Each structure stands twice: as structure tokens, then as C-alpha cells.
A = this chain, B = another copy of it.
């Protein structure tokens, strides 16, 4: 009997890093698609910082993954069997297909057909997938950058941040990254073309950020939170915008992390701060794919995936790289 390998949530993680016993890799019988369903053979699973929140049993923007359920994940693969009128065998598709070898789905919500002639399969859960859409809508809709303004993005070498800064450049802004270590910073400036990148692991981030942003900060795209956000806040210009996309510094905290000490800047500088989840723009995804794809094709948008081998059994170790800064670019697990 054919089987499907799944990464299932075995128990809720305690505060702190995810441990191996929180997930179980299990073989289950492989289901055939029913009427209106497709079966997708998954090639790549995207590993995202938000996963840490999805397994906590707390109020969030989506219900937590249930114990014994397949771990929620964006994945990309090819249709292997179809009883759905919109999809045929061989179609490349991406969506919330889970961390597993095969997904059987009705095609909703939001199974998106992708074009392998335009970009390799893994890129459709990378820079042209959800991280790219997040950067696109988060920067343009929430940040509303104007030409000549200064845009700061944290986790600048990461999946979302790397694209945020490049879009900022395309829109005529000064793009300043914050990243950990000289290698990542060099990648951000030399390869991605940001105007500057400051190393949060080096001494005196505050002074370094001031040097990199001589005219202050107009837009902050926040992926990290914690001390980094606290360094950015007092340097924000009046009427600046802050897109809160992620707070990864706190995701593995063992006690509730403190809030931003420099919160008062929101009042004194009349900042606009807004939290964002990419699914809020689900109906506009084609717009993001169109622009990102065009910029990528023109060579103006560089995308780097960090594809890891090891298959589904390597899920936990690979995921934890995100929280230690161990990845270089969008982290993806090859199934």
C-alpha cells in the first residue's frame, strides 16, 4: 500500500526552542483524491518564522495546529492525480499544503498554479512565494515609501527582508538593512544592493544606525523586534511608518518578552504602526507575482534560497536554524 510521510505535531513545545519530541514523522496510508480534489506530490517545504507561533496554543491570527495534525507549511509540488476541473496532472502548484510528501486538497484555500518556465519550483515558496508577497504588500501598502525616503529593514538578509530592501531601491528610497554579522551585511550591500547594512552583533548599533541613516528613518519594516526595534524607534522621523511583520526575537522567549522601551516615540513622532499578515492581501496575490516576477526577470530583484537536504526527518533541526540566524536566504526543505 502506498504511504505518505507526514510531520505531525506531537505535543506543544515548552517555551524556548522547539525540541525534537514536539514533532513525529509518521507514515500514513496515501489517500486518493476524491471528487473535486487533487493530489500533489510535494517537492519543497518552506520553513518560516511564523511556524513557532502556529504551534502555540494561544490566540493568534490562525488557529494553532492541532496535536496529531500535519504541521502547517507552505509547500510547492506537482499535481500527481486530479479530479478537480482546474488542475491537471503535472501542474506545478503552491499553497498551504503542509509538511508532508503528498497533500490531497480541494484546491482551496488558495492553491496557486506557478510557472516553472519562469522560475524553478523552490522559488515559488521563496522570493516569488509568500515571503515575496509579504515584502511587497508590507512595504508598499503599510510602509508607503516615497522616493528619497529612508527605509530600514531588519533581518535584511532573510527571505522577506532581502526583498523589502530591493523593492525600496526600485521605488527610489535609501535602503538600509540590519543583519547579524559581517558576512550577511556584505551580502546585503554587495549582492542585494542596499545602500548600507548595520551589524546588530557589533558594538553600538545605535551609532551605526545613525551613521547609516543621516536623515533619520521614514519607514521601518520590522521582522525582529526586541532591542533592534528599540534602537530604531528613537531614530524614526515625524510621521514615519512602521510595518510590524515579525517579532522573531521573541518567538522562543521562555518568559513574556518586555515590550519596546522606546514606545513613547510613537506619540512624540506621531508614528503609524501596523501589524501585517500576508493573507490579508490574498485576493491581490497575482499583482505581487506580476511585479516581483517582472523585477526578477529584469535582474533588479535578486532572490536567494537556502535549500536544505535531509527530507522531512530534518524538519526540526532545519526549522530551528531560523531562530539562531543559521540560514542564508529563504530557508526551504527539500522533501
Interface residues of A (CB under 8 A from B): 53, 59-61, 225, 230, 234, 238, 244-247, 250, 256-277, 280
Contact = CB atoms under 8 A, between A and B. Distances in A.
A246 B273 CA distance: 16
Q: Kindly list the 8 A-B residue pairs having the minimum CB-CB distance in the complex, ordered from nearest.
A: A259-B259, A259-B260, A267-B275, A259-B263, A266-B275, A273-B273, A270-B275, A60-B268
Given A245-B267, A271-B274, 8 more contacts: A59-B234, A225-B263, A246-B267, A266-B275, A268-B275, A270-B277, A270-B280, A273-B274
A275 B225 CA distance: 19
Contacts of A265: 275
Contact of A261 (B59, B256, B264): B256
Contacts of A269: 61, 275
A258 B256 contact: no
A276 B246 CA distance: 25
A258 B264 CA distance: 10
A270 B275 CA distance: 4
A264 B247 contact: yes
Given A59-B234, A261-B256, A270 B266 contact: no
A274 B270 contact: yes
A261 B226 CA distance: 11
Nearest to A58: B268
Contacts of A273: 266, 272-274
23 contacts: A59-B234, A59-B268, A60-B268, A61-B267, A61-B270, A225-B263, A230-B259, A244-B267, A246-B267, A247-B264, A247-B267, A250-B264, A259-B261, A259-B262, A259-B263, A260-B263, A263-B263, A266-B273, A266-B275, A267-B275, A267-B276, A270-B276, A272-B274
A276 B270 CA distance: 5
A247 B264 CA distance: 8
Contacts of A257: 261
A64 to B, nearest CB: 12
Contacts of A250: 264
A52 to B, nearest CB: 12
A60 to B, nearest CB: 5
A284 B128 CA distance: 44
Given A258-B258, A261-B258, A274-B273, A268 B61 contact: yes
A264 B53 CA distance: 11
Listed residue (A59, A60, A262, A264) with the most chain B CB atoms within 10 angstroms of its CB: A264
